[in-house]
Structure 1
Amino acid sequence: MQLQVARIGKPHGIRGEVTVQVLTDAPGDRFVPGTQLTVEPASAGPLTVLSARWNKDILLLAFEEIETRNQAETLRGAKLFIETEELDEDDDEGWYEHELVGLDVRVGDKVVGKVSGLNTLPVQDLLVVTATDGKEILIPFVEQIVPEVNVGEKFVLVTPPPGLFEINAEETGEAAGSAETGDNA
């Protein structure tokens, strides 16, 4: 199975370097020169890392196959993957996005939605949940709110604080309604 480790952003400079959104906790291990990465869309790859360097907080990658800014521009938005067998199988401290997407989200025994993504942020991760009514809800991925992840039985147990599921509804529904009617109450 493949694990997404980055998403390519805009070109940097004229020699084919690109900025990347890092989606791995070990960029120093994943982007070593000579590492071959699978690319989505497949027509853009595979790509072999030529160099990796930091420019402030942004990782810049150069690939053996890309020599110009114009070539780099064609990679914008492409996803970079590695094979998961390259990963440490003893790591049980967390989950990868591909393991979580599609799991039912339960509050008690009631299914309230499905995990549709994982936003990895510096302070804490957020589960992206598509609720049964189709609304997107962001849930802090912390033990107090998400006490159980059961990949085998395909569910995530959530103990949301009061109002967590209503916050998005208020912002998109009621706020939009009062803006349309002109109510300022």
Structure 2
Amino acid sequence: MSHMPELEPTALPDDAVEIGRIADAWGVKGWFKVIAYSADPEALFAAKQWFLLPAEKGAKHFTGTVLLPVKQVRPHSDTIVATSPAVLDRNAAEALRGARIFVAREHFPQAEDGEYYWVDLMGLHVSNREGVALGVVKDLLATGPQTTLVLAYEEGGKERERMIPFVDAYIDKVDVAAKTIIADWQPDY
């Protein structure tokens, strides 16, 4: 017998970004733990509704995309916990275990000047001040206080990686609209 909460089926928006997943029930009142994929999960806290897709592995308690209204999200020790008016008890929360959380990009809070969401940096083309192409952002690593861009580029027919610290000392300009980053960096660093 499944205690799946009554969630409204919906379509996943074109600008949806996967930002985390539901880990497990938390407590007895329908709260659940959330694992955020980003070191700065503002979108998790800001969005009033999450789009859920079923877990990739394990039991699936729903199919397609469903809309989860979010009542409260808060940090709790080293994790994040959330509650929804649609999830009334522990059984309902357990039924969501493993669900993938997406938020529409338009529901992200406005990034401040000089701040960027990771999702906006993925796929940007990085070149240096001399116009030499350094690669395309394929990942970001949060290492302590700073973020490092991981670039993919080809050399001698092989795909390689290059890392550039995402700090003012090396990054001259980020133009999300033009999908470019200018860095003070040499290909042989």
Please give the TM-score of this superposition, normalised by the length of structure 2. Answer: 0.63
Q: CA deviation at 1:30?
A: 1.1
Q: C-alpha offsets along residues 99-122 of structure 1, whole Å, 9 cap, x if unaligned?
A: 322221113312121012334566
Q: C-alpha offsets along residues 107-147 of structure 1, whole Å, 9 cap, x if unaligned?
A: 33121210123345661222221122422333210011222
More helix per residue: 1
Q: Which amino acid in the other structure matches residue 147 of structure 1?
A: D
Q: Which amino acid in the other structure matches residue 162 of structure 2?
A: I
Tell whether the 8 Å contact from 2:16 to 2:104 is kept in structure 1 after alignment. Answer: yes
Alignment partner, residue 36 of structure 2: 21
**Pick aligned residue for 2:164 from 120, 139, 155:** 139
Q: CA deviation at 1:80?
A: 2.7
Gaps of 5+ in 1: 165-185
Q: CA deviation at 1:57?
A: 2.7
Gaps of 5+ in 2: 1-13, 55-62
Tell whether the 8 Å contact from 1:145 to 1:161 is kept in structure 2 after alignment. Answer: no
Q: Which amino acid in the other structure matches residue 116 of structure 2?
A: W
How many equivalent residue pairs? Answer: 158
- Evaluate the alpha carbon distance shift between residue 36 and residue 43 of structure 1 in structure 2; reply closer, same or farther with a 3 A threshold: same
More strand per residue: 2
1:97 matched to 2:118? The reply is yes
Tell whether the 8 Å contact from 1:3 to 1:98 is kept in structure 2 after alignment. Answer: no
**Higher RCO (C-alpha 8 Å, min separation 6):** 2
Q: Distance in 1 between matches of 2:98 and 2:125?
A: 36
C-alpha RMSD of matched pairs (Å): 3.4
